[in-house]
């Protein structure tokens, strides 16, 4: 009996460890999203000669936690004319797609050996288009649908250029594995060798993540926030987490692809480069 049950116990332990790692990664991404929004608000406020969040707690640092608590305890208003099932599921699917992207990241909490990691990123990141379109369509609002169509048109357009730019980086190492691409930059980063490619990648990433000047997908003046106009409370928070989690992943991917030199146990260097890239994008 012991011999028969031992493999089962080992498999159960491995699955449990994998589930714990996935939970830690999800919590880390959620916290990262919250404090990245704080960084964004601080950077933009000081650029515009104002203070930004500084009232909650010590110098406004717990502000993201306060915002998250406020959103999740608000009442969810259901629109009678909406397709309720898709309306509720779209934000959840968006978060699931975003978290699956982070499994590609070369760390102890993702897939450490992912031979086709970049290909997986290209395939899964394209699914975000469907959640945007379904969110706008399921709301059954002309403003939400118009915003969804605009967002989908822009996203699809720049996905093509992103894939073509990635090809140049992949051909430099002839591998889909992010770790292989990172190790190839141990001496000289690709951003130094491939300056035009790095510039085009930077511009495409701005468009893919709907940052200025490519923020037409969420034009507040003419569309009142675009495809997510009918969402509020926890559902809006899920869409927000999915969007900013994807933005953070693109920043981390940029650090790995262009400024890396990722080595085992030297995560502080990559974290510093990721934060620097995230600041430049802001």
Q: Is residue 84 part of a domain?
A: yes
Q: For residues 266 and 252, what is the distance between their CA atoms, to the nearest angstrom?
A: 15
What pLDDT score was predicted for residue 265? 44
Q: Which residues contact 256 (CB under 8 A, 6 or more apart)?
A: 105, 106, 178, 181, 182, 262, 270
Q: How much is the pTM? A: 0.85
pLDDT by residue, tens only, the chain of 282 residues? 444 466 777 777 777 777 777 788 888 888 888 888 888 888 888 888 888 888 887 878 888 888 888 888 888 777 777 788 888 899 999 999 988 888 887 765 555 567 787 888 888 888 888 888 888 888 888 888 888 888 888 888 888 888 888 888 888 778 787 777 877 777 788 888 888 888 888 888 888 887 877 777 666 555 567 788 888 888 888 888 888 888 888 888 888 888 875 554 446 777 788 888 888 888
Q: Is residue 171 part of a domain?
A: yes
Q: Is residue 120 part of a domain?
A: yes
Crossing angle of helices 2-47/233-258, nearest 10°?
90
Q: What is the dihedral of CA 249, 207, 277, 251, to 10 degrees?
A: 10
SS3 234: helix
What pLDDT score was predicted for residue 262? 55
What pLDDT score was predicted for residue 108? 59
- Residue pair 120/253 in contact (Cβ under 8 Å)? The answer is no
Q: Is residue 78 part of a domain?
A: yes
Q: Is residue 211 part of a domain?
A: yes
Q: Is residue 184 part of a domain?
A: yes
Instruction: Report how many domains make up the chain.
Output: 1
What pLDDT score was predicted for residue 111? 53
- Residue pair 282/40 in contact (Cβ under 8 Å)? The answer is yes
Q: Is residue 167 part of a domain?
A: yes
Q: Is residue 43 part of a domain?
A: no
Domain extent for 122: 74-281
What pLDDT score was predicted for residue 2? 47
């Amino acid at each position: 009996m012991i011999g028969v049950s031992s493999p089962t116990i080992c498999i159960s332990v491995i699955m449990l460890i994998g589930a714990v790692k996935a939970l830690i990664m999800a919590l880390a991404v959620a916290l990262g999203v919250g404090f990245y929004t704080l960084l964004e608000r601080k950077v933009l406020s000081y650029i515009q000669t104002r203070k930004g969040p500084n009232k909650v707690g010590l110098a406004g640092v717990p502000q993201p936690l306060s915002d998250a608590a406020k959103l999740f305890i608000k009442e969810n208003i259901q629109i009678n004319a909406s397709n309720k099932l898709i309306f509720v599921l779209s934000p959840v699917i968006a978060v699931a797609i975003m978290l699956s992207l982070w499994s590609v990241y070369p760390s102890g909490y993702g897939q450490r050996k992912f031979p086709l990691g970049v290909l997986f990123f290209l395939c899964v990141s394209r699914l975000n288009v469907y959640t945007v379109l379904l969110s706008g369509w399921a709301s059954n609002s002309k403003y939400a649908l118009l915003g969804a169509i605009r967002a989908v048109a822009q996203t699809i357009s720049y996905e093509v250029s992103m894939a073509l730019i990635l090809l140049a980086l992949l051909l430099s190492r002839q591998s889909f594995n992010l770790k292989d691409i990172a190790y190839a930059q141990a001496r000289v980063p690709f951003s130094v060798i491939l300056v035009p490619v790095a510039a085009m990648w930077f511009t495409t990433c701005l468009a893919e993540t709907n940052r200025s000047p490519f923020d037409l997908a969420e034009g507040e003046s003419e569309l009142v926030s675009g495809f997510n106009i009918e969402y509020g409370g926890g559902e809006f928070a899920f869409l927000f987490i999915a969007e900013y989690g994807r933005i953070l992943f693109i920043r981390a991917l940029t650090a790995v692809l262009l400024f890396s030199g990722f080595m085992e146990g030297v995560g502080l260097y990559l974290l510093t480069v990721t934060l620097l890239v995230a600041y430049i994008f802001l």
